[in-house]
Chains A and B, each alone.
Chain A
Amino acid sequence: MEHTKTIWSLLETVTDPEVPVLSVVDLGIIRAVQMEEGRPEIIITPTYSGCPAMDMIRMNIRITLLQHGYKDIRITTVLSPAWTTDWMSEKGKEKLMAYGIAPPTPVPVVCDLGLFQHNEAIACPRCRSYHTTMISEFGSTACKSLYRCEDCHEPFDHFKCH
């Protein structure tokens, strides 16, 4: 029990290499931490199937735990239930905003098949204006889309709903 608590707090220090302000706990990809005869098992779920950061995240979790004396670490990947941005912590969403990335919205309105939809209202992380336009549904990483603020004219990333 003590150990799993310690491991959870160690995982708070393992960050997403693409979005370094977010820990893997903030991201919501740690599904469980278990101890079995002194051997930790971390159960994680990937964000996007093709996310290249996942291999690095697994390695960083392993290194962090090894550095703190844990051995025989098992990292198990589960796919179901599939990860959703609803699992991102509120703290994580605030960190994203402060970092300049608009966080995912609570109600995913563009996750359906309707074509040429009006973009959901995304606040500019810089000036908080909702007068923004989507430039591209796909951004610098699989999890982000690209927006522009029509008031302060800054382009910004939006962590899209998923």
Chain B
Amino acid sequence: MNAQHLIDFSLHLADNTLVLGHRNSEWTGHGPILEQDIALSNIALDLIGQARYLYQYAARLMNADGGNKQEVLEDMLAYLRDSWDFRNCLLVEQANGDWGKTILRQFFFSAYQYYFYQELESSRDPELAAIAEKSLKEVSYHLRWSSEWVIRLGDGTEESHARMERSLDDLWMYTGELFLPADYEQALLPVDIAVNLTTIRPLWEERVRQILSQATLTPPGAVMQKGGKQGRHTEQLGYLLAEMQFLQRAYPACEW
């Protein structure tokens, strides 16, 4: 392992949470009912807060690594990198679609984060372990809330069930990548810093199987997509970054 692996791993975790947090924030003011608008906005806040810890850590590592003439700041990592620099999974960048698709994306990712952070809590890297410990409490809320909604919608009306089936067809192909380790994860595994994805995969699968079956939904057969962890993204990420980064691109270093 080298310093770059830890930087890439931290950026991968940060990008996951920032991108999903931003997607959720697109619902603010547009939720189907006020309480659920607030719920999703709260989840967005938690995720963006986690992203800040992770970007701050990545920035510290990059500055300690030397070689950078200019000091790296968390905002530069969020706002001034392009889509090929982002290391998030393809799942989190997928467009919101309807409420059902947003819920299903959140459920898949929260279930993943829940088991992932449980393992990361005992990482040999104390900073990542502390971030995992802090975040896990919030992710438990997210997982419970999104699980209930998947059941409610899947086992709901004919219309909500049909929409959940469509969402499942749209999203299932992006779940395989969650468990494909990138080179930086493989490099950090022997030193007990990264999470062994083969350990958490059966836990995620069991949780998903239980909830989908309660929701009377069946996952489709799909060819799994990958590439996000290496910076090869679907076109969706470009649109998201164009909006999220606009202000810093148009008015560099603007603050308020």
Contacts and interface: CB of A to CB of B under 8 A. Distances in A.
B48 A81 contact: no
Contacts of A67: none
Contacts of A83: 134
A113 B144 contact: yes
A46 B134 contact: yes
Contacts of A78: 130
A52 B53 CA distance: 14
A50 B35 contact: no
Interface stretch (A21-29, A94-102, A135-143): A135-143
Given A46-B49, A49-B53, 20 more contacts: A48-B138, A49-B50, A49-B138, A50-B21, A50-B44, A50-B47, A50-B138, A79-B133, A82-B133, A82-B134, A111-B137, A113-B114, A113-B143, A114-B144, A136-B39, A137-B145, A138-B35, A138-B39, A138-B43, A142-B45
B135 A49 contact: yes
Interface string A136-159: 111110100010000000000000
Chain A interface main SS type? loop
The 10 lowest CB-CB distance pairs between A and B, nearest first, are A49-B49, A50-B45, A50-B49, A136-B35, A80-B130, A138-B39, A79-B130, A138-B42, A79-B134, A82-B134
B129 interface: yes
Interface residues of A, number: 27
25 contacts: A46-B49, A48-B45, A48-B49, A49-B50, A49-B53, A50-B46, A50-B48, A50-B50, A51-B45, A79-B130, A79-B134, A80-B133, A80-B134, A81-B133, A82-B134, A82-B137, A112-B140, A136-B35, A136-B36, A136-B38, A136-B39, A137-B39, A138-B38, A138-B145, A146-B35
A116 B149 CA distance: 10
B16 to A, nearest CB: 14
B239 interface: no
A109 to B, nearest CB: 13
A126 interface: no
Interface of B: 21, 35-36, 38-39, 41-50, 52-53, 114, 126, 129-131, 133-135, 137-138, 140-141, 143-145, 147-148, 151
Interface of A: 46, 48-52, 78-83, 111-116, 135-140, 142, 146, 162
A52 B45 contact: yes
Contacts of B46: 48-50, 142
Contacts of A80: 126, 129-130, 133-134
A114 B210 CA distance: 13
A51 B126 CA distance: 23
A129 B44 CA distance: 33
A115 B151 contact: yes
Contacts of A139: 38
A135 to B, nearest CB: 6
A146 B39 CA distance: 11
A132 to B, nearest CB: 16
A140 B145 CA distance: 17
